[in-house]
Amino acid sequence: MEDSRVLVGRNTADDAGVVQISENLALVHTVDLLAPVVDDPYTYGRIAAVNSLSDVYAMGGRPISALNVIGFPANLGPEVMGEILRGGQDAIMEAGAVLVGGHTFQNTEVMYGLAVTGEISPDQIYTISDARPGDLLVLTKPLGTGTLIQAMMTRGVIAQSLYDRVSRSMTSSNRIASEAMIHHSAHACTDITGFGFIGHCSEMAEASGVGMNIRADMLPVFTKVMDMIRDGVTDAGVKMNRNSFEKMVSFGSDVSLVYEALLYGSETSGGLLIALQDREAVKLVNDLTDQGWETAVVIGEVVAEHPGRINIG
């Protein structure tokens, strides 16, 4: 049943739903849950909360309230849950939103995330369906979190400096990047999470009726990730995402299988993928760099050719 108040709904693969409540105001709604990706409960809580809040930022919205959603095993102590929720609370407060409650359920493993409500102008909503030929594509965080998380889970440890770097990235809010894309009049946006780089690119290309040409050598990647993939560390999302999206992707003959594994891999609390005019893309990158943002890179372009397909070369 269609409802005129629903501006973005179930008929697209966008990051959140949008419902108009007045002439000048709409609400953004999203919910997400995340299994533990690091051992420290507080850091995990922050990552899961930032991951949930990112869906609002990807739409160009501003979070205003959040509900905790946490699944918790009966045999774990309450202090663990307390640290997870403290991490989430800090991320919510930093977003300028308020925590208004939540829901706890018993589960065999820990799962935590947020149901988030944000506000947005009805005439300034960023979806995956408005990328235009001639746009450049900007990515705002490095790739490889899935591989690094798998390395920590299966091999127990990575270098402390690398752990600190990837944790800092996953706990870094996309708010600054979202505000910058609005300022530079972006056309389309999504955040790179569970469907991996290829999955989210494919969804944007299909929804916008455009093609994408991606330069593999321009993609930002966390240190050591490529070596880990060569050594056999494989993110659990690679098989699922390859099965879902491989028909929409063409790899150049000089693109290695290592890159394929990287780009099909799931990402956690990844960056924004933003499509915008070429001149504005350069300004966006410079703007984020001037603000101290660690990664903002032009990684490809939107084209009229091969609509719905991604060429990676």
Q: What value does the mean pLDDT take over residues 103-111?
A: 96
Q: Are residues 107 and 187 in the same domain?
A: no
pLDDT at 15 over 70: yes
Beta carbons of 294 and 63 less than 8 angstroms apart: no
Average pLDDT score over the chain:
95
Per-residue pLDDT tens for 184-195?
999 999 999 999
211 inside domain: yes
Q: What value does the mean pLDDT take over residues 38-53?
A: 97
pLDDT at 37 over 80: yes
pLDDT at 310 over 80: yes
Structure confidence at residue 153 as a pLDDT band (50, 70, 90): confident
Beta carbons of 263 and 286 less than 8 angstroms apart: no
Number of domains in the chain: 2
209 DSSP 8-state letter: T
Q: Are residues 140 and 289 in the same domain?
A: yes
129 inside domain: no
Residue 260's closest CA among 244, 268, 249, 271?
249
**Residue tagged 């995402």 (tokens):** 241
Q: Are residues 82 and 178 in the same domain?
A: no
223 inside domain: yes
Per-residue pLDDT tens for 54-65?
999 999 999 999
CATH of the domain at 12: 3.30.1330.10
130 inside domain: no
β-strands 310-312, 249-251: how paired? parallel
131 inside domain: no
Structural domain that includes position 21: 6-120
127 inside domain: no
Q: Are residues 84 and 189 in the same domain?
A: no
Q: Are residues 66 and 146 in the same domain?
A: no
Q: What is the pLDDT of residue 139?
A: 98
pLDDT at 127 over 80: yes
Q: Are residues 152 and 112 in the same domain?
A: no
1 inside domain: no
Q: What is the pLDDT of residue 1?
A: 59
pLDDT at 108 over 70: yes
CATH of the domain at 222: 3.90.650.10
Q: Are residues 152 and 33 in the same domain?
A: no
Residue at 251: amino acid letter: F
Q: Are residues 192 and 304 in the same domain?
A: yes
Per-residue pLDDT tens for 75-90?
998 999 999 999 999 9
CA distances in angstroms from 119 to 54, 57, 62, 162, listed in the order given:
13, 10, 5, 35
Q: Structure pTM?
A: 0.95
218 inside domain: yes
Beta carbons of 178 and 102 less than 8 angstroms apart: no
Q: What is the dihedral of CA 265, 266, 271, 276, to 10 degrees?
A: 70
Six token digits for residue 114: 């947020």
Six token digits for residue 18: 């949008």
Beta carbons of 126 and 181 less than 8 angstroms apart: yes
Q: Are residues 166 and 298 in the same domain?
A: yes
pLDDT at 157 over 80: no
Q: What is the pLDDT of residue 236?
A: 83
**Residue tagged 């990684």 (tokens):** 299
Of the residues 91, 120, 149, the one at which a domain ends: 120
